[in-house]
């Protein structure tokens, strides 16, 4: 399946954010205190602390998510898509790939913000960052879910 422009842009943006995480971490590494926030609650207040080496997990998890989600692109759920003609099946699969790309980009951006605030040894993360991330995530599930329902509803089953 050919990648859409939307998918290419989002995947490129995800790569740039991951590279930015790594570069930012490398530049700041000598000045990072030995104890940094490693977990923030939903209010954005740190509720866990650990070694600065724990910060390495954010870019590592971002890279893992990127390649893991890219691996999912190669899976075409034939059993699920077999109920629809090829055109609709391809549109559903493209929709799935688009949503996955959007989710990946949002998550890598969120991880970058966590990295930033942890390195700054911030006492909290602005609530708007958490609200925006989870709102976009939930909103994308709703929007893409509605698009999927309409695609399926307007298709002719075999």
Confidence grade of residue 27 (pLDDT, cut at 50, 70, 90): very high
Average of pLDDT values for 61-74?
Answer: 86
pLDDT in the model for residue 156: 63
- pLDDT digits over 86-123, tens only? 788 888 888 888 888 999 999 999 999 988 888 886 66
Nearest to 128 by CA among 138, 116, 136, 120: 136
The pLDDT assigned to 73 comes to: 72
Q: How confident is the model at residue 76 (pLDDT cuts 50, 70, 90)?
A: low
Q: How far apart are CA 54 and CA 52, in angstroms?
A: 5
Average pLDDT rounded to a whole number, residues 33-53: 85
Closest CA to 157 of 97, 80, 101: 80
Average pLDDT over residues 128-154: 89
79: how many CB neighbours lie within 10 A of its CB?
A: 7
Minimum mean pLDDT range among 17-26, 116-125, 137-146: 116-125
Closest CA to 119 of 11, 43, 20: 20
Please give the mean pLDDT across all residues of the chain: 85
Q: How many angstroms separate the CA atoms of 131 and 147, rounded?
A: 24
Highest mean pLDDT of the ranges 5-19, 60-74, 115-129: 5-19
Q: Which two tokens stand for residue 75?
A: 């899976």
| DSSP state for residue 2 in the 8-state scheme | P
pLDDT band at 79 (very low <50, low <70, confident <90, very high): low
Reported confidence tier of residue 64, pLDDT bands at 50, 70, 90: very high
| 105 vs 83: CA distance, rounded Å | 31
Per-residue pLDDT, averaged over 32-42, amounts to 85
Q: Do the beta carbons of residue 35 and residue 115 sit within 8 Å?
A: no
pTM of the shown model:
0.83
């Amino acid at each position: 399946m050919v990648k859409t422009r939307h998918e290419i842009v989002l995947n490129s943006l995800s790569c740039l954010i991951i590279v930015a995480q790594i570069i930012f971490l490398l530049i700041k590494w000598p000045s990072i205190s030995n104890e940094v926030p490693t977990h923030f609650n939903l209010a954005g207040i740190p509720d866990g602390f650990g070694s600065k080496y724990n910060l390495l997990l954010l870019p590592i998890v971002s890279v893992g998510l990127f390649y893991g989600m890219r691996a999912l692109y190669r899976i075409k759920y034939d059993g699920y898509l077999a109920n629809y003609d090829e055109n609709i099946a391809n549109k559903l699969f493209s929709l799935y790939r688009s949503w996955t790309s959007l989710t990946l980009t949002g998550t890598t951006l969120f991880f970058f913000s966590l990295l930033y605030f942890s390195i700054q040894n911030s006492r909290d993360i602005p609530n708007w960052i958490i609200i925006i991330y989870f709102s976009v995530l939930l909103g994308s599930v709703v929007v893409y879910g509605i698009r999927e329902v309409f695609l399926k509803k307007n298709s002719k089953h075999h």
